[in-house]
Amino acid sequence: MYTPDLSPVLGPVAGIALAGGVARLVAEMIDERAPFVDPTPFAPAFLQRCADARSRKTVG
């Protein structure tokens, strides 16, 4: 799953949309191990922040 800014979204509802590093990150999250990168920027909550920003948009 991708957002309008082309950033991937990861989490239990998004599944795996990229290979390699994403699969590793998701596996680490499932196994409750420390992730090799910070997964916060890819959390499903990001979609809500995008929607909120779009709803406040007045032009374009």
Threshold 0.75, pTM exceeds:
no
CA distances from 36 to 24, 26, 42 (A): 8, 10, 14
Q: What is the pLDDT of residue 34?
A: 94
CA 15/CA 1 separation, integer angstroms: 8
Query: pLDDT per residue over 18-60, tens digit each?
Result: 667 778 888 898 999 999 988 887 777 777 887 888 888 777 6
Q: What is the pLDDT of residue 42?
A: 75
Q: What is the pLDDT of residue 2?
A: 52
Q: What is the pLDDT of residue 28?
A: 92
